[in-house]
Amino acid sequence: MDTMELVVSLVIWIIILSLIKKRKKKGQNVQTLSTGTQMPRPTAQPVRNRQQGSPNAVTKPVPSGQKNAIRQEVQESTTAYLDRKAKQDEIEHRKEALEQRREEQKNYGRINYALRWYEGDPVPDSQKIIKCGYCGAENMVPVRGGRHFNCYFCREEL
């Protein structure tokens, strides 16, 4: 008798699960049951095609030239998008670097900055290494510069 009860309960669960799946496919919420007193929603127009926003919204026809532009934007490949984005980022980076240089020149004057020297790197004949008196960093400056340089790291005059 126990196996018979188990089989019956299993069949009932399968029926319940299949009904739940059918309701989900129809777009009905599983938790709400139709009592018959609710007004049915119109289904003549799919939800994705309904006009969103206020009911008085007026759509303006798009000129044919703009339609082609919109289609071209949609058809833009990932590579083209990434290329365009890289160019925009490069332009933005240049603007930021220029702004930073202007700010530093305003704060420190028109003194050039020394180059960073990595320990173990060879020093070219036209360059020499100068140690910063403030932070102790080693900077690479031209031998025949005759100009003053600021430290690469702390921006103090060398």
For residue 58, being part of any structural domain is answered with no
Q: Are residues 130 and 148 in the same domain?
A: yes
Q: Are residues 87 and 116 in the same domain?
A: no
Q: Are residues 148 and 117 in the same domain?
A: yes
For 125, residues 6+ apart whose C-beta sits below 8 A from its C-beta are 143
What is the pLDDT at residue 19? 92
Residue with tokens 């003194």: 111
What is the pLDDT at residue 94? 95
For residue 6, being part of any structural domain is answered with no
Domains held by the chain: number: 2
Distance CA 71, CA 49 (A): 19
What is the pLDDT at residue 59? 58
What is the pLDDT at residue 20? 92
Cβ(114)–Cβ(140) below 8 Å:
yes
What is the pLDDT at residue 8? 92
For residue 96, being part of any structural domain is answered with yes
For residue 34, being part of any structural domain is answered with no
The residue ranges of the chain whose pLDDT is under 50 are: 30
62-95: b (≥16 Cβ within 10 Å) or e: eeeeeeeeeeeeeeeeeeeeeeeeeeeeeeeeee
For residue 124, being part of any structural domain is answered with yes
Closest CA to 132 of 151, 110, 148, 116: 151
Q: Using a cut of 0.85, tell me whether the model's pTM lies above it.
A: no
What is the pLDDT at residue 30? 47
What is the pLDDT at residue 86? 96
Q: Domain residues for 119?
A: 111-158
